[in-house]
Structure 1
Amino acid sequence: MWFLSLLLLAAMVFAIVDIVLRDNAEIKHLPKVAWLFLVILVPLLGTVLWFTLGRDVPQRLSRPRPTLVSRPAGVSRPAAPPAPSQGRDVRTTEQQLADLEREIEEDRLRAEIARKRAERDRGSED
């Protein structure tokens, strides 16, 4: 019987670590904090629900397994290609804010140009 308790404890700890380390976009149905409370307060049910319903398992590209090859001193590994973004925005918050500020400024300038053209057209009609 102690084996089942140990197994449940290990599964619960694994679930908690998995919840904490996952990105919010990979968590379904409830917020991260709610999943943590569920797993901690109702260990068996919470853990089972987390692994069946709570996680969004990303589709991984099949990659060849790395081989253990020793490299000569001073030779670095080749840079890994960037991971494909699957419809997700990979910009930082600062980049998103800068882009948004540029868009707002462009809209303001367009509105000002349209206003000046309208004033010019009204002036030429008189």
Structure 2
Amino acid sequence: MTITPLYAGLLAILFLVLSARVIQKRNVVSLGDGGDPDLLRRIRGHANFAEYVPLVLVMMAMLEHGGAAPAWLLHVLGATLLLARVLHGIALSFTASWKFGRFYGTLLTFIVLVVAAALCIWRGVAALMV
């Protein structure tokens, strides 16, 4: 596998940036958000990344390993996921209200999730038919 590790590495760097943003703001509050709306946004940006990215990367890895998707499609999925998470991460962790980034980051993440899920289901059903 060569494609999924590329995007996993790039997304890991973004995850570290989002993690640092939470740590940077945690000067007094050690658990939760302490009622600080900026810290809450940073926590949610970080957590939202952790909720979606691993599943998509696992599906991409299965598709790549099984040869169920062409390289160009895996690159489209990976690049779109990276763009989506950058948009969403900026919207939640770096700004008070950037609706464009939040909306399109979420939309693109869902599109990648649905496409990867459909390809995985197709691969599984095709294997049953053999």
What's the TM-score, normalizing by structure 1?
Answer: 0.37
Higher Cα radius of gyration: 1
Greater helix fraction, Structure 1 or Structure 2: 2
Higher relative contact order (CA 8 A, sep 6+): 2
